[in-house]
Structures are given as C-alpha cells and as structure tokens.
C-alpha cells in the first residue's frame, strides 16, 4: 500500500532550500518566481501571506468555471483589491520590502465559460468533488502551466488546495503531470494544513473580502442551493 504523501512537508523542504540561497534583498535575481493560479481572494489571502517572503509571486486569475459574468467580475475585483492592499502594506509599513515579502503581480486569464462547458460535457450530474471537478482542475492548471512556461517562471501552483472541499491529492497529481509535460516545476501544496484554511477566514474578515458560498460553476451553485 502506498503511503499517503504529506504535501505540506514537501513544500517545507523546498522553502528550506530557497531560504538557504544567498540574497541581497528585493533586487536579488536568485529569488524564485511563482505563477500562482487563484480561484478567489479569500483562498489566496493566506497563500499570499505565507509565500510572498519566499517567492516573487504573480497571481493568475483564470476561472472560466464561474458561469455568471457578474459573479466572475466581483471575484476578480476582490482579488485585485486584496493584492493592492498587500502591496500597499509593503511600501507603507516596511522600509525593507523583503522583510515582509515581495510585491505581488496579477494577470487575468481569458474569461470563456464555454470552454468549461465543453470539458465537462457529460459530467453535468456528477457530484461535487467528483470527475467534473477533476476536469475543471486540469483545465485551469493546464492554462496556468502554459502561461508559466511562456513567462519563464520557476514554479507554478494553485490556491485550490486550501479548501477542505477540494481534493489536494488529485490537484497535486495533475500539477506534477503537467510539470513534466511543460518543463516548469510544480510547487506541491496542501495549504489548508497548519491552520491555513482558518487563517484565510480570519484574513477575509480583516480585509472584508467577499466570500462566495459555492465554487463557481452553475452545477456547484445548484447543488449548494438544493436545486439538483
């Protein structure tokens, strides 16, 4: 029987190696770059707080699974607002940026719900957390690694593993397979560990972030509201 992998410990080892690299502050080119897929501001809040002292992070907001335009726009604007708050705190409260972390960038992906419908055709009635969700993971992570490879990033990963409702093992499996295909290192994670999910809730309250009550697609919405 295969042992259950501890993705948090694997991430710890990578961060330990990064921390041992020689550096001279924010301008040091040895600081690794991370292309971070984000599903929403609340989920990214803890992840950004945690990783911004180790990586130069660019958030990639790519979520065609959000099937209502108004909902998509609301989540996108909240993501931008959170990043602006984090960056402002670096410049206003810290004389040495690297002490609190590096400035965070953001890239918005194409918003095309039709591509989500295409890859989930025939999976409409799958329960939340099943094969439809796995197809959605792969859709978003494939676009993430493609952009990361084109941009020359050192690592890519996703905030999705912070959710207790997401399958962290499957997300890591998909990420590792794509890493081999595209030649960009996958950053293993299970961000809900060590109180990560609880910290995201606290940060959401601190920054008054909009917290949605469903993943984003019409199917998760209907299941959440007892319509399936």
**Residue pLDDT, tens place only, 9-28:** 999 999 999 987 655 444 45
Asked whether the whole model's pTM tops 0.85, one would answer yes
Q: 150 Cβ partners below 8 Å, 6+ apart?
A: none
**Tens digit of pLDDT for each residue in 151-166?**
999 999 999 999 999 9
Place of tokens 């945690």: 50
**Tens digit of pLDDT for each residue in 75-129?**
999 999 999 999 998 866 554 455 678 999 999 999 999 999 999 999 988 988 8
The closest alpha carbon to 64, from 218, 205, 200, belongs to 218
């Amino acid at each position: 029987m295969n042992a259950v992998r501890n993705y948090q410990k694997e991430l710890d080892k990578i961060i330990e190696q990064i921390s041992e690299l020689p550096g001279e502050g924010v301008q040091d080119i040895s600081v690794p770059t991370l292309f971070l897929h984000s599903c929403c501001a609340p989920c990214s809040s803890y992840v950004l707080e945690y990783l911004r002292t180790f990586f130069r992070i660019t958030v990639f907001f790519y979520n065609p699974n959000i099937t209502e335009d108004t909902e998509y726009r609301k989540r996108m604007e909240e993501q931008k607002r959170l990043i602006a708050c984090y960056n402002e705190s670096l410049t206003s409260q810290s004389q040495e940026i690297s002490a609190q972390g590096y400035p965070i960038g953001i890239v918005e992906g194409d918003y095309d719900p039709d591509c989500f419908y295409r890859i989930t055709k025939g999976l409409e009635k799958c329960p939340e957390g099943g094969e439809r969700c796995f197809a959605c993971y792969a859709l978003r992570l494939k676009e993430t690694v493609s952009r990361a490879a084109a941009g020359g990033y050192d690592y890519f990963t996703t905030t999705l593993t912070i959710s207790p409702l997401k399958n962290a093992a499957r997300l890591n499996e998909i990420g590792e397979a794509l890493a081999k295909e595209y030649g960009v290192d996958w950053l293993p994670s299970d961000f809900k560990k060590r109180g990560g999910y609880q910290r995201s809730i606290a940060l959401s309250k601190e920054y008054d972030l909009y917290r949605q009550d469903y993943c984003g697609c019409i199917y998760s919405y209907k299941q959440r509201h007892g319509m399936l």
